[in-house]
Amino acid sequence: MIWLSVAVRIVANPFSNVFQKLLTQRSANPLVIIGITHALLSVACVPALFRIPVPEAASFWTNISICALLAVTANVLIVEALRLSDLSILGPINAWKPVVSLVPGMLLLHEFPGWMGVCGIALIVAGSYLIVDGTPREPWRSLRARFLMDRGIQCRFAALVLSGAEAVFLKRALWASSATATFAWWSILGFAVSGIATASLIGAGNLNSPVVGNERTSATNILQHEAGVFQRSWFTYLLLATTTGLMQFCTIVTLNRIQVGSALALFQTSALISVFLGSKIFDEPHFLRRMAGAAVMVAGAVLIILGDQSGGAS
């Protein structure tokens, strides 16, 4: 069951990003995309709420509430990053997540990587230098320049910091409840957070879209625009909710059995799929170099997994 969950999660994540990018190309606002996704997931979770008990532990509600806030913020940043940059760059950059989650994982979960895990994380980071475009003679300077100047990469990097922290709180919520209850309340609270944020920004006339630009516009115009996008793209939204739901539920199941750092490293094998989909669907350049960089990251993930299985992490 655990390896099936890992496999589904690896495939679902890049396809979820594809549908998010398609919706941004149709001028949907990132916050609205996330809000509608959580709304559809919440509706799907309603039958489960009648069969599972409401968690009673206060620690569950604290941790799942933090998860919802972090998840919505991180996913909005991911969608904005996909609007600005290539999927074949942003997918592999997610391999930095195990590095980001290492510190909170040690402090809050008492999970420590062994030497193989540390080497694997270093390999993942090194592989990212092949992903980012730049001058081959000065890869270090090129990478720093992209991180400092490329808004898409900045948004993606900020998102992985938040989602790495979210994984820690998600596992803490699992300690006090079941995987099904955790997923259901993650979806519902995520809808509440995104709904409040969307309503506030619409009321203030500050919910921008690629069509209306950066100027303030009326709430009516915003609603009409987003409703029109939904009407034209409802099937894409449905596919997005399906892949996002599969991705998150499989993440929860995996985190229930594997250390956070190892799980997040294992998920990075989806980088290969992201590079492939970016090239085939969006005609993104530098396919071979980006695939090579993604492969190096996958090697780092395998090293982390081997270290965990051999007892290198304690």
**227 — phi, psi (to 5°)?**
-65, -40
Q: Residue 204 to residues 77, 157, 194, 200, 268: CA-CA distances in angstroms? A: 20, 28, 15, 6, 39
Alpha-carbon gap, residue 76 to 299, rounded angstroms: 29
Taking each helix axis as running N to C, give the angle between helix 30-49 and helix 179-204, from 0 to 180 degrees, rounded to the nearest 10. Answer: 140
Cβ contact 284:88 at 8 Å: yes
Cβ contact 83:147 at 8 Å: no
- Copy the structure tokens of residue 101: 């989650």
Estimate to the nearest angstrom the gap between the alpha carbon of 256 and the chain centroid.
18
Alpha-carbon gap, residue 168 to 62, rounded angstroms: 13
Cβ contact 64:184 at 8 Å: no
Task: Write down the pLDDT at residue 142.
Answer: 57
Task: Write down the pLDDT at residue 31.
Answer: 93
Return averaged pLDDT per consecutive 10 residues of the chain, 314 residues in all.
88 96 94 96 94 92 97 96 92 74 67 77 78 56 64 89 87 93 96 92 65 56 89 97 96 83 75 95 92 87 68 44
Cβ contact 225:208 at 8 Å: no
In this structure, which long-range contacts are made by residues 61-64, counting pairs with CB atoms below 8 Å and at least 24 apart in sequence?
Answer: 63/169, 63/170, 63/172, 63/173, 63/176, 64/169, 64/170, 64/173, 64/177, 64/182, 64/185, 64/186, 64/189
Encoded amino acid at 211, one letter: V
Task: Write down the pLDDT at residue 212.
Answer: 43
